[in-house]
Each structure stands twice: as structure tokens, then as C-alpha cells.
Amino acid sequence: MTDQPQTAISAGPEAEPTVTTTTVPMWLIVGTLVLLFLSAWYFDLHGAWFHAKVYPPYTSWANVNEFQPGDGGPDPNKGRPLYESNCALCHNSDGSGKPGQAPPLAGSEWVVTTGVNRLIRIPQVGLTGPIKVKGQDYNNLPSMAGMGATYTDEQLADVLNYIRNSWGNKAPFVTPEQVKKVRTDLGGRSQPYTPDELMKLPE
Amino acid sequence: MRSSAIVFLAAFIALSASWAGFVLAPQLQLGRAPLEKSLGTETLYPVARPGLAAQGAEVYTALGCVYCHSQQVGQDGVRCDIVLSEPGTNVLATLAALRSVDENLGKPETLANLPKVIKTVATVAAADAIVKPLRETGAKAGVKIVPTGSDISRGWGRRRTVAQDYAYDLPVQLGTRRAGPDLADVGARQPDIEWHLRHLYDPKSEVKDSTMPPYRFLFEERPAGKSDPADVLALPAGAAPAGKEIVKTDAARALAAYLVSLRTTDVPLQEAPFTPPPAPPAAPATNSAAQ
């Protein structure tokens, strides 16, 4: 046997544990606060504050919303089938128009406009009378029929977006709301516009 | 003991704090959460399991499937792929738009073998910024949101699972062990009910290296030629004992109906967004929950 148990016994009465007050070391307090701060910081960055719909790997609700599928903005090609089956009969598939039938749309100052108030009226109720497009006079064309009753606001907006953004044309998108507004403005009008009449309207 | 009241109070506060944090708060937050529509549709997700599949959930619980199979898919990240599907008629304009994105993309090779992923970016906004000018040239391009992670690359689902997936599960059988594959999306991987029945009867006949025990007590051996052919399990020749045929019990049928009802594949949610495949195949004629 070694001395060890003996020392433990001999240390007996003197080593009676007593309760004394002692200060908590400063490094422990500082260390705990630093740990608390770091974990709170990490939680703030990754925890999304217990948001019910934020799961890893997303770190916040804003982060989740960065990955919601967008529609990529309006698609100018959406109106193409409608154009090909209606408008292209006279205006041609490449928007160059057909002699004796319809003026061109490609590069036309009637199509590529900033305001769309006049343009929207043309497919709605039609157009008749002599017209000047790209510096050329078209006098003896058949009048264009209105199609506002056949197609919805969305369809008309799609087809206008197609002609405004094809064959080298580039113009801002038309919204269905704009078409709807013009439809209301037209009231029940079914009489085709003449170019002169259109020019009197605000752009 | 002088401080017994303090000890009791401290223990009480500690226990009730953890109860409030682990039980009460999630119940208030998720237990009362309304069902949400899946992205891009008008249908609420999920719908309650129809009768047979609901019974199958009880068979699943009773057999302890949860001890070897989890029903939770994890996700490590998400990326956005830009998919070019058609170059459009104005190829030069498309190439010019591609070149403005990345010098290397503006080459004719990019337009070969479409549709394909031409670029991967971090967020949908960044992807939209690239897709928009592409579309304006007449090209057909889209953004594909792709969750990533080891579970997903194993083919266990297209996205992570979230609380809403379990809205009608009681108990929720998330599972903790994966002796077998995760089953959260098994109905999409294997929508064939007969496959599941054959697999339950003899796992090795369908998956060569399967370690799953056969669940033959879910089937009955009866003299051949006496049962309705619809009730008989179609097995390869020689698999059934001589002169006998294997007949499915209701429990087997219910369990298989439950397994094919487990699918998350075609349901993007706001909290777990992804782009589902463009043309989902026609839903199998099952009691699937996520139709």
C-alpha cells in the first residue's frame, strides 16, 4: 500500500469543507458574454427568427423569396400564333405588309411608339382610309376589320407585344390593363378609325 | 434543506421553458398553420389520404417501417439553371444576347443539342436578368430552380420536405434511421402498386441487394386457381410454392396504396420552391395524396 490513503485520512478534521464567498473570475464572465454574442450573431444570420416557413438551406424569408419562380417578364413571342393566324394574312409573317393589302408593321412609326393609346385602338375597331407609313402613302387599301370583340385584353396585348418586339422593332410592353382602359374609353364604338382621327387623340 | 423552494422553482422554470420551446411554440406556429396552395396552382396541398392509403399508414405504423425508413429529405442548397430550349429564328441576335452574358456562350456550339442548361446562377433575379434579353430575340429560354443536396442527388425527392408535407400524418413518421431508402417521395420513384406488393412479398426479387426482410405474412398461400385473379400476386414462374398461389391481404393492399401516396415530386411550395418538370406524366390510377 502507498501513502496516499493515509494522507487522505490524516488530512481529515482540518479539511472540513466550509462555505465562503468568492468572486466569479472576470474572464469567465467576459468569455460567456462573448459566446452569447457570437451565438446570437450566428442565429441572426441563419435562424430567420423562428419564421415558420424558413427551412435550411434558406436563411431568411427574404432569402426564400429570392427563389420564387418568376415568369421572366412578359414574353413577346406569346402573341405569335395569334399574329400568324390573323394579322399575317395581310401584314405578312415578317411584318413587311403586302402590296395592295396592308402597310408594313416592321419599323412602322404607328407600331413603335412610346404611348399606346392610338395603337391599341387599331386592332380593337379597325382602321380605314389613306395612311402614311415610313414616308410612303397607302391610299387604296381595303379597311382593316376590328377584332376587339373576338379577343380578350390579354390576347390583344400579346399580339401587340409581338409586333412591337419583332423584326427589329423594339418598344415597351403593352399591358392587358392598358387594353382594358382603351376598351372602356371606346364605349360601344365599332366604327373603324381613320388615321386623321387617330392623330387627333393623345398618344 | 433550506432552499427547497428555490430548487423546486428553478426546476419548474427550466422544465416549463423547454416545454414551451419544444412543444407549445411549434404547436402554436405549425399546428395551426393553414394549408397553402402549391406554387403555380390553385390546389391546396396536401389533400387527405383516401381510405385505403389512410389504412395503409396504420399498417406502416404497426409494422414499424419507421425504424428502418425515414420520410424526410434534406437539402443543402439551391441553384438556378438557365435552360435554352429554342434558338429562335434570329440566331445572330440570340448569339449577340448570349455574348453579352458571357463571351464563351456566344458561340454557335451553344445552340446545338437544345434544350440544355447554358448557365447556372445564384438567384432567380440574376437568372431573369439573363433570360429577358434572350427572350426578346425570339429565343425560348427559362429559369429552372434546382434544389441540391446529397438526398436529392440520390433521387429521394426534388426538394426538401417541410412541415406542410405531414399535415395529415398522425403520427408523423419522420424516422431516424436509414437502413432502407427514404420514403418521402417513393410514390414518384415507383408508382406501380404491383411492384410494391411483389417487393413486400420478396424484396430481393425486385431489388437484388435489398436487406429488407420479406413481409410474407401480408399474403396468404391458397390452392392454385381458386381465387379471383385480381387478388393473386403476379409472381415470376416458380416463385410461388408448387400448386399454390399467393393472394394479397387487405393489409398488403393498403400498405402499397399508402406507399404510392407518398410523393412530393410535383409539388413546389413557397417555402421549398423548385421548378417541376415541364410535362408531368399522367398520374397513375392510385389513391395518390398529392394529385
For A14-69, the pLDDT digits (tens) are 777 778 888 899 999 999 999 999 999 999 998 888 898 999 899 999 999 889 88
Nearest alpha carbon to residue A113 among A195, A173, A190, A39: A173
* CB spacing of A165 vs B143 below 8 angstroms: no
| Closest residue in B to A64 (Cα–Cα) | B271
* CB spacing of A68 vs B273 below 8 angstroms: yes
Q: Is A58 exposed, middle or buried (0-12, 13-18, 19+ CB in 10 A)?
A: buried
Total count of residues recorded for chain B: 291
Nearest alpha carbon to residue B145 among B117, B167, B173, B103: B117
Distance CA A113, CA B164 (A): 49
b/e map B67-100, b = 16+ CB within 10 Å: ebbbbbbbbeebebbbbbeebbebeebbbebbee
Q: Is A82 exposed, middle or buried (0-12, 13-18, 19+ CB in 10 A)?
A: middle
Q: Which residue has the higher pLDDT, A41 or A119?
A: A41
pLDDT of residue B281: 55
* CB spacing of A70 vs B124 below 8 angstroms: yes
pLDDT of residue B290: 44
| Closest residue in A to B146 (Cα–Cα) | A67
pLDDT of residue A12: 60
Q: Would you tell me which residues 114-153 of chain B have a C-beta closer than 8 angstroms to some C-beta of chain A?
A: 123-125, 128, 131-132, 135-136, 138, 140-143, 145, 149
Quick check: A137 pLDDT over 50? Answer: yes
Separation in Å, CA B183 to CA B188, B193, B197: 10, 15, 15
* CB spacing of B162 vs A55 below 8 angstroms: yes
pLDDT of residue A120: 87
pLDDT of residue B87: 84
* CB spacing of A75 vs B77 below 8 angstroms: no
pLDDT band at B282 (very low <50, low <70, confident <90, very high): low
Grid cell locating A173: 410592353
Query: Which tens digit of pLDDT belongs to each residue from A170-195?
Result: 788 888 888 888 888 888 787 888 88
Mean pLDDT of the B74-93 span? 87
Chain A residues near any Cβ of chain B (below 8 Å): 50, 52-58, 64, 66-70, 72-73, 75-77, 165-166, 170
pLDDT band at A1 (very low <50, low <70, confident <90, very high): very low
The amino acid at residue B291 is Q
| B125 vs A contacts (CB less than 8 Å) | 66, 70
Q: Looking up cell 410461388, which residue turns up?
A: B240
Query: Does residue B284 sit at the A interface (CB-CB below 8 Å)?
Result: no
Distance CA A110, CA A127 (A): 12
Quick check: A146 pLDDT over 60? Answer: yes
Asked whether B184 and B151 are in contact (CB, 8 A), the reply is: no
Q: Looking up cell 391546396, which residue turns up?
A: B44
In angstroms, how far apart are the furthest CA atoms of chain A? 128
**SS3 of residue A97 by DSSP:** coil
| DSSP E strand stretches across chain B | 36-37, 44-45, 77-86, 116-121, 140-148, 219-223, 244-248
Quick check: B286 pLDDT over 60? Answer: no
| Mean pLDDT estimate for chain B | 88
pLDDT of residue B195: 95
* CB spacing of B142 vs A72 below 8 angstroms: yes
* CB spacing of A77 vs B138 below 8 angstroms: yes
Query: Which tens digit of pLDDT belongs to each residue from B127-142?
Result: 888 888 888 777 888 8
Distance CA B219, CA B250 (A): 9
